[in-house]
């Protein structure tokens, strides 16, 4: 199956949106620039002139069991980086820091939602990771076996991830908010042998079950042989004899040392599933050396991390942001990090700022949707805490609207902290377009420049570069170390999704424009992928969840602009002939989607409609549906089979309202 990329007209929408010019600029403060990790702008030319030399120099900062023979082997679209080299990710993240006498440095300040706390030094973390690695080996996990991790944000989550890397078992982390069914799909696609989970996690003061979902998922996931269960909430769980083991029983009694596997550079490090334009999530495959190098380097340069920083990436490790910038990048750099289990407004909207003040956080990395939530709660919560330790702020997940950027700058950064708006994706592994904070003049809403060595462009339908100021499609023209190596089990889908639209160029699915300074402004997805609160959701996946309810004949899902979440899910539903539609049915369908995929996929609005606008060849015209959902003037309707349909839907839409 291939991901199709329709909606050419979306580029026009984008071009029009891009007329909203933002002209404020923020040069790096002199004092910041003077201490920055990167101060010489020649880094860009150096990397462009000698891509392999640039990355080879950076790669020398990692610990290798055996040096590589060759930096890059590029047979588009398949790249191999640092072939012949051998290394271990956990050794790079832990052992080498301990060996260098930094064992007492804090790796994580962990804070649970109820307020419990734990401090793990690098020495502590290494010991725990070794114990867990030994435990996994005892459960029969060997090099190459896949381990699924379905956990709350407790220290055991990064411990389990690192333990997998120690024994060469690729992990696949499934976000704890996903349903049993979504978990089961991922267990099956990856043929996972072991699941690491917890009894549950805390969410807004209440324990929510995880083990119960694992039990349900395992009914349809025969590859799983063992389940390792950490105790978090103390809630009742069922333990299957011979299959399920408590972390406390198995891990605690293991030795605190464990021989690391010597991994090849291109050995699989992990799989992470993400939504594409079809109903089937893609298992994005990352390998060992290039990925570690990419995240460590970008973390050091974009966040300007120093040994005495306290760095907090307020994401969940279940998403790629957490993989790259909570776990692997920061630990490879020996950084002290904060790990927080809960929501930003529990028990009140001051919680984050209390954490910043308590640990003296110096660098904060979060998503625009969270910033907008804080804006809504008001600056008084931040004002009530001492945020003077902060020196750099980051943003990721979706385009940041200038209003949120300025609020972040003023109320959180005290107008002194540079903001790095970082564009990247699960597939890119690490940051691709972002300021270097000691060099780059930032502009609210622009991710600014491609990272050194990244060659980007904005092109039209034919793949020709567009002039400055014009909207088009973002492409990447050179391979990079942390790039995905494929979609698990589906090389064809990998080639067709990312590399076929413009031969020789990587197409990430985003619209963009470049201004006359060469700065990039990202303008959202151009395919059938929505971005809700910085999380990617496929319209098709939600549609197929909707039609799996027997009362639904057809469904079309689009994203509608939303002040808080960026986009909100709007579902147009045609009920089967004999079904009476009602608000209650709409609620049931929303709940049905949440149960099938997870609460993040619950449509904000379900609108029943007698018909959907289709082209004469029967293709649903999503662009029109997007216009209707957003209550915008309709674009071109000439290819519509029955023009009356849109009027009917539009009237119904205007009469209806959000169901939340």
Structure tokens at 318: 């279940």
- Rounded to a whole number of angstroms, the minimum distance from the CB of residue 451 to ligand PRX is 12
Tell me which stretch binds ligand PRX (CB under 6 A): 23-31, 259-267, 291-299, 391-399.
Answer: 391-399
- Rounded to a whole number of angstroms, the minimum distance from the CB of residue 428 to ligand PRX is 8
Q: Which of 93, 447, 542, 558 binds ligand PRX (CB under 6 A)?
A: 447
Tell me: does residue 513 bind ligand PRX (CB under 6 A).
no
- Rounded to a whole number of angstroms, the minimum distance from the CB of residue 277 to ligand PRX is 12
Q: Which is nearer to ligand PRX, 538 or 653 (CB)?
A: 538
Question: 364 — phi, psi (to 5°)?
Answer: -125, 130
- Rounded to a whole number of angstroms, the minimum distance from the CB of residue 204 to ligand PRX is 23
Query: Could you tell me where the beta strands, DSSP code E, fall in 433-542?
Result: 456-459, 471-476, 486-487, 510-514, 520-525, 529-532, 535-538
CA 652 to chain centre: 36
Tell me: does residue 422 bind ligand PRX (CB under 6 A).
yes
How many Å is the Cα radius of gyration of the chain?
24
Q: Which is nearer to ligand PRX, 134 or 539 (CB)?
A: 539
Tell me which stretch binds ligand PRX (CB under 6 A): 92-100, 151-159, 179-187, 504-512.
Answer: 504-512
- Rounded to a whole number of angstroms, the minimum distance from the CB of residue 363 to ligand PRX is 16
Residue with tokens 């919560």: 381
Tell me: does residue 440 bind ligand PRX (CB under 6 A).
no
Cis peptide before 486 (omega within 30 of 0): no
Closest by CA to 451, choosing from 418, 428, 417, 467, is 428
Strand order, beta sheet including 520-525: 456-459, 471-476, 510-514, 520-525
Contact 315, 322 (CB under 8 A): yes
Closest by CA to 630, choosing from 602, 609, 604, is 604
Tell me: does residue 426 bind ligand PRX (CB under 6 A).
yes
Q: Which is nearer to ligand PRX, 334 or 509 (CB)?
A: 509
- Rounded to a whole number of angstroms, the minimum distance from the CB of residue 393 to ligand PRX is 13
Binding residues among 482-501 for ligand PRX as defined by CB under 6 A: none
Tell me: does residue 603 bind ligand PRX (CB under 6 A).
no
Q: Which is nearer to ligand PRX, 536 or 604 (CB)?
A: 536
Tell me: does residue 531 bind ligand PRX (CB under 6 A).
yes
Tell me: does residue 396 bind ligand PRX (CB under 6 A).
yes
Q: Cα–Cα distance between 621 and 615 in angstroms, integer?
A: 7
Tell me: does residue 448 bind ligand PRX (CB under 6 A).
no
Tell me: does residue 397 bind ligand PRX (CB under 6 A).
yes
Q: Which is nearer to ligand PRX, 156 or 541 (CB)?
A: 541
Tell me: does residue 425 bind ligand PRX (CB under 6 A).
yes
How many residues would you count in the chain? Answer: 660
Q: Which of 293, 420, 456, 522 binds ligand PRX (CB under 6 A)?
A: 522
Q: Which of 316, 510, 541, 549 binds ligand PRX (CB under 6 A)?
A: 510
Tell me: does residue 233 bind ligand PRX (CB under 6 A).
no
* Burial category of 16 from C-beta neighbours within 10 Å (exposed 0-12, middle 13-18, buried 19 and up): exposed
Contacts of 371 (CB under 8 A, 6+ apart): 395, 400, 404, 407, 408, 412
Binding residues among 264-323 for ligand PRX as defined by CB under 6 A: 274, 320-321
Contact 87, 63 (CB under 8 A): yes
SS3 of 174-232: CCCCCCHHHHHHHHHHHCCCEEEEECEEEECCEEEECHHHHHHHHCCCCCCCEEEEECC
Tell me which stretch binds ligand PRX (CB under 6 A): 162-170, 232-240, 383-391, 531-539.
Answer: 531-539
- Rounded to a whole number of angstroms, the minimum distance from the CB of residue 399 to ligand PRX is 4
- Rounded to a whole number of angstroms, the minimum distance from the CB of residue 318 to ligand PRX is 11
Closest by CA to 44, choosing from 451, 516, 477, is 451
- Rounded to a whole number of angstroms, the minimum distance from the CB of residue 629 to ligand PRX is 19
Helices 180-190 and 211-218: crossing angle in degrees, nearest 10, is 60
Tell me: does residue 423 bind ligand PRX (CB under 6 A).
yes
Q: Cα–Cα distance between 402 and 25 in angstroms, integer?
A: 11
Contact 654, 631 (CB under 8 A): yes
Q: Which of 398, 490, 549, 567 binds ligand PRX (CB under 6 A)?
A: 398
**Footprint on this chain of ligand PRX (rule: CB under 6 A):** 274, 320-321, 396-399, 421-426, 447, 508-510, 522, 525, 531, 535-536
């Amino acid at each position: 199956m291939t991901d199709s990329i329709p909606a050419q007209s979306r580029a026009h929408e984008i071009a029009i949106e891009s007329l909203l010019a933002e002209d404020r600029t923020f040069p790096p403060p002199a004092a910041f620039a003077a201490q920055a990790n990167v101060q010489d702008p020649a880094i860009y030319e150096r990397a462009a002139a000698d891509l392999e030399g640039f990355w080879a120099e950076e790669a020398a900062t990692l610990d290798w069991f055996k040096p590589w023979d060759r930096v890059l082997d590029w047979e588009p679209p398949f790249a191999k980086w640092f072939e012949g080299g051998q290394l271990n990710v956990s050794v790079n993240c832990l052992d080498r820091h301990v060996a260098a006498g930094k064992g007492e440095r804090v790796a994580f300040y962990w804070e649970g939602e109820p307020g419990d706390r734990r401090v793990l030094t690098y020495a502590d973390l290494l010991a725990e990771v070794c114990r867990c690695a030994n435990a996994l080996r005892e459960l029969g996990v060997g090099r190459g076996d896949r381990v699924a991790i379905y956990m709350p944000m407790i220290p055991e989550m990064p411990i389990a991830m690192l333990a997998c890397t120690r024994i060469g078992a690729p992990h696949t982390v499934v976000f704890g908010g996903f349903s049993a069914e979504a978990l089961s799909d991922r267990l099956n696609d990856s043929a996972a042998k072991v699941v690491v989970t917890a009894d549950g996690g805390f969410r807004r003061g209440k324990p929510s079950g995880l083990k119960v979902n694992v039990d349900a998922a395992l009914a349809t996931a025969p590859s799983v042989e063992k389940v390792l269960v950490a105790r978090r909430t103390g809630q009742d769980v069922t333990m299957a004899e011979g299959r399920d083991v408590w972390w406390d029983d198995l891990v605690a009694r293991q030795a605190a040392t464990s021989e690391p596997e010597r991994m090849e550079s291109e050995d699989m490090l992990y799989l992470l599933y993400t939504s594409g334009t079809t109903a089937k999530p893609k298992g994005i495959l990352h390998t060992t050396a290039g990925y570690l190098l990419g995240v460590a380097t970008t973390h050091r340069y974009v966040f300007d991390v120093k040994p005495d920083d306290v760095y907090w990436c307020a994401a969940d490790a279940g998403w790629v942001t957490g993989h790259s910038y909570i776990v692997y990048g920061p630990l490879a750099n020996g950084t002290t990090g904060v790990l927080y289990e809960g929501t930003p407004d529990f028990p009140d909207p001051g919680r984050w700022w209390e954490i910043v003040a308590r640990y003296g956080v110096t660098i904060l990395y979060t998503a625009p949707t969270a910033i907008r939530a804080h804006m809504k709660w008001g600056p008084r919560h931040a004002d009530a805490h001492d945020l003077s330790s902060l020196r750099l702020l980051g943003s990721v997940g979706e385009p940041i609207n200038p209003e949120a950027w300025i609020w972040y700058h003023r109320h959180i950064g005290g107008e002194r902290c540079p903001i790095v708006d970082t564009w990247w994706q699960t597939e890119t592994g690490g940051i691709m377009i972002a300021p270097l904070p000691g060099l780059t003049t930032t502009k609210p809403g622009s991710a600014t420049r491609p990272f050194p060595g990244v060659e980007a462009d904005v092109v039209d339908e034919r793949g020709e570069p567009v002039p400055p100021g014009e909207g088009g499609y973002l492409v990447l023209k050179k391979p990079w170390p942390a790039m995905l190596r494929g979609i698990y089990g589906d090389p064809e889908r990998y080639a067709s999704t990312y590399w076929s639209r413009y031969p020789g160029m990587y197409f990430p699915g985003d619209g963009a424009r470049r201004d006359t300074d060469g700065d990039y402004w990202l303008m959202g997805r151009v395919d059938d992928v929505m971005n809700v609160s910085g999380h990617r959701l496929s319209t098709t996946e939600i549609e197929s969840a909707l039609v799996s309810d027997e009362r639904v004949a057809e469904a079309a899902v689009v994203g509608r602009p939303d002040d808080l979440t960026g986009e909100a899910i709007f579902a147009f539903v045609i009920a089967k002939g004999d079904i009476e539609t009602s608000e209650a049915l709409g609620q049931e369908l929303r709940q049905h989607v949440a149960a099938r995929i997870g609460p993040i996929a619950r449509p904000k609005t379900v609108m029943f409609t007698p018909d959907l606008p289709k082209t004469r060849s029967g293709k649903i015209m999503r662009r029109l549906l997007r216009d209707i959902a957003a209550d915008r003037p309709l674009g071109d309707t000439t290819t519509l089979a029955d023009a009356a349909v849109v009027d009917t839907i539009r009237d119904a839409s205007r009469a209806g309202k959000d169901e939340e």
